[in-house]
Structure 1
């Protein structure tokens, strides 16, 4: 008998059951009411497999549809209409009438087995109620804001001598800000004061993660102004805590006397403080449920410089000006602040927002990934290799921008040559950091803002602009890619189009779901699925956890 003939006779098997219910009533009770209309059945007829859906079940008839599983990923629908009598039944399959002889062997609510005959040939059949595999909708982690946030303010992570660690930006020119602090600079340059170094910690509330990634954020302000509680840093800290990160926003020592060496020392003191803050957090990892393999850092301007130094600077890379001499004291190693915390750490990735480094070769010290944002017309921190503060201390640049402020007139009248060249050393900006990182095999991504200046995340009044959120979303995606280096994707097998596989290997658990489809079997990281031609959107969803415990969910739409 041909395949088509076997298929037509198989379809009417269920209809014959109705007549057999009457014929064998005295031998075995058959409860046809157990046949359901809210599920699918899988039928096996010799080597062929069929999907059956009953839409109507009457006392002596069935109406439904069937689908034969073949090599095509989508099975075509055939309508079935069955009328049963005592000894035979009439069946229509797409309006084609077919008779068959049936001998049931075992009938329950969940399965029907037996044999059927066409002429002298005898064939077996089996129909089972389809039960889809258990599915658990595992929510992907660290990609959507879903937690409320608890903030613990002003945690002291260290103490060190310096000028100050708190100087909120008043949205004034740098020259005016410097003059306002001149008295303190002169006083504490002679006798530095003890400063408590503080951080604010943002924690996701009610999360169930045993361990969480850590992000340290470091504000900018030319190593002179700034505060951990500025609007941008509160918003970024809150965002990442809502994702499930532990976030620490730190204050650090600021201030410097007007010389290139002193500015380098200010940057180094910031790096020492950030290093102490990170060691404090690693020391208290159990308290805050921090996964010390998932440590990130980021900042803007001076904060980005500090974040890059935190990741890549080693004691061998210290600026020479920090090592002391005849008339100045040595600032000590990077670990000199809060030496009671001995823990080591590795930064997984840095968010570098218009930052720079003084020694480009220190990028080779670590395999830390870097995502950078920088305007190619930045006159404060160079995009390439140049002196910083071009727009503040260079009378030529001031003249070109037609700045007639009192501070600008003062600079132009006193100095004939760019003051920034005398007061600062050249630095390597984001374009060169990106180039070197890639050359050393580090993962690096650079977003260049054409024609953009400094502080791309705010306007001239320090109000957040849309680019703030572009940075936020880009950094989030970049960090998540660090946590999930081999993201799961569903791919269709090229040899067997009913087989779908997961390409990733770092999977601990997984769950399959097929919309308008039947999962025929699962094995390891693959499943065999047939879709039905008359359904709506045909979609496969797989959720689960990676070996590192992070949840995932991925989809494939046919």
Structure 2
């Protein structure tokens, strides 16, 4: 296992590498909408599927999960559309998904019971699983590489994908299915000991150290007090990286010294090269690296 501590100003752009698929833009993109889950008395769940045009063969699949506190946000907001188009232009297939907004009209603050928050994590993990199952079942149409499914989430979406990869007891996807990698932008999980040698996958984490909603290290969600019914201890990006480091697994931690919760979306525009680097070298090429970037 190689360990890298990289000051931000020494990072090399992936564009300095010789031209390669997944590292430089190779195609224009197309988009189609699909209904992946029909729900009685609720809005049907849809996904927007982006792919590179005229690119043959099976493609790695990125599942993008938007943020919004489990009460808002949209699969086709500007962040989702820009990110999905960009990644598709490099050769990836991308599915930006809708999910049930179980906390809409309720909130996610310190006055909301902790068990409802955990339930929200699990319900979105369930919806993501159904979206993946839908694509896999129809893979003659989608043409994705099932061994290269990558989760990406922002804020609540990051909490959802991290929960899905490391905490959620999945009874929807095949027991042999395993994600190829995960990118969490300002996310956290509820149980650090759930990350083990058997389920660890290449994990990229972006987080502001001054995030006042989702803790960078170990702290309550929204920094609620212990007497609040919404008190829920979370393990943020620093804690997740520490756990992966301790068991000798691959991770890529991008820490922003004075960064706030806006780093749940800023990496989409400001850290494209770091994302491409991680996806290509850590996920697709399976290089075992432990990388830390200080900004």
Tell me, yes or no, if structure 1 residue 157 matches structure 2 residue 4: no
Q: Write out per-residue CA displacement over residues 201-235 of structure 1, whole angstroms, 9 at most, x where no aligned residue.
A: 00111113x11111000001111111111111111
Q: What residue in structure 2 maps to residue 476 of structure 1?
A: 276
- Residue aligned with 2:119, SS: helix
- Structure showing the higher strand proportion among its residues: 1
Q: Write out per-residue CA displacement over residues 446-494 of structure 1, whole angstroms, 9 at most, x where no aligned residue.
A: 1110111102265xxxxxx6x543322211110101212469xxxxxxx
Distance change in 2, residues 1:455/1:335 (3 Å): farther
Tell me, yes or no, if structure 1 residue 203 matches structure 2 residue 62: no
Q: What residue in structure 2 maps to residue 286 of structure 1?
A: 140
Q: Write out per-residue CA displacement over residues 344-374 of structure 1, whole angstroms, 9 at most, x where no aligned residue.
A: 5211111111100011111114131101110
Distance change in 2, residues 1:422/1:240 (3 Å): same
Tell me, yes or no, if structure 1 residue 448 matches structure 2 residue 284: no
Residue among 149, 160, 167 paired with 1:313: 167
Distance change in 2, residues 1:442/1:286 (3 Å): farther
> Number of aligned pairs?
262
Please report the RMSD computed on the Cα atoms of aligned residues, expressed in angstroms.
Answer: 2.3
CA distance in 1, matches of 2:69, 2:151: 18
Q: What residue in structure 1 maps to residue 11 of structure 2?
A: none
Shift of residue 342, structure 1, vs aligned partner: 5.2
- Of stretches 225-234 and 280-289 in structure 1, the one that deviates more from structure 2 is 280-289
- Of stretches 266-275 and 255-264 in structure 1, the one that deviates more from structure 2 is 255-264
- Contact 1:312 1:362 (C-alpha < 8 Å) held by counterparts: yes
TM-score for the superposition, normalised by structure 1: 0.44
- Of stretches 349-358 and 277-286 in structure 1, the one that deviates more from structure 2 is 277-286
CA distance in 1, matches of 2:89, 2:67: 23
- Contact 1:308 1:357 (C-alpha < 8 Å) held by counterparts: yes
CA distance in 1, matches of 2:55, 2:165: 28
Distance change in 2, residues 1:444/1:273 (3 Å): same
Shift of residue 287, structure 1, vs aligned partner: 1.6
TM-score for the superposition, normalised by structure 2: 0.82
- Contact 2:154 2:264 (C-alpha < 8 Å) held by counterparts: no
Q: What residue in structure 1 maps to residue 7 of structure 2?
A: none
Q: What residue in structure 2 maps to residue 378 of structure 1?
A: 211
Q: Write out per-residue CA displacement over residues 133-192 of structure 1, whole angstroms, 9 at most, x where no aligned residue.
A: xxxxx9521111121111012x1112347xxxxxxxxxxxxxxxxxxxxxxxxxxxxxxx
- Residue aligned with 1:309, SS: helix
Distance change in 2, residues 1:342/1:277 (3 Å): same
Q: What residue in structure 2 maps to residue 238 of structure 1?
A: 85
Pairing 1:61-460 to 2, within 5 Å after superposition: 140-153=20-33, 155-160=34-39, 193-208=41-56, 210-256=57-103, 257=106, 258-315=112-169, 334-335=170-171, 344-364=176-196, 365-390=198-223, 418=225, 421-456=228-263
CA distance in 2, matches of 1:296, 1:420: 38
- Residue aligned with 2:94, SS: strand
Q: Which runs of 5+ in 2 are unaligned?
A: 1-17, 107-111, 289-295
Q: Write out per-residue CA displacement over residues 81-110 of structure 1, whole angstroms, 9 at most, x where no aligned residue.
A: xxxxxxxxxxxxxxxxxxxxxxxxxxxxxx
Shift of residue 420, structure 1, vs aligned partner: 8.6
> Which gives a bigger RCO, structure 1 or 2 (Cα 8 Å, sep 6+)?
2
Spell out structure 1 runs of 4+ moving beyond 6 A.
none
CA distance in 2, matches of 1:283, 1:441: 34
Shift of residue 279, structure 1, vs aligned partner: 1.6
CA distance in 2, matches of 1:304, 1:457: 8
Q: Which runs of 5+ in 1 are unaligned?
A: 1-137, 162-192, 316-333, 395-417, 459-464, 488-558
CA distance in 2, matches of 1:300, 1:420: 29
CA distance in 1, matches of 2:227, 2:238: 21
Q: Write out per-residue CA displacement over residues 101-142 of structure 1, whole angstroms, 9 at most, x where no aligned residue.
A: xxxxxxxxxxxxxxxxxxxxxxxxxxxxxxxxxxxxx95211
Larger radius of gyration, structure 1 or 2?
Answer: 1
CA distance in 2, matches of 1:420, 1:223: 23
CA distance in 2, matches of 1:385, 1:449: 16
Q: Write out per-residue CA displacement over residues 511-552 of structure 1, whole angstroms, 9 at most, x where no aligned residue.
A: xxxxxxxxxxxxxxxxxxxxxxxxxxxxxxxxxxxxxxxxxx
Distance change in 2, residues 1:422/1:457 (3 Å): closer
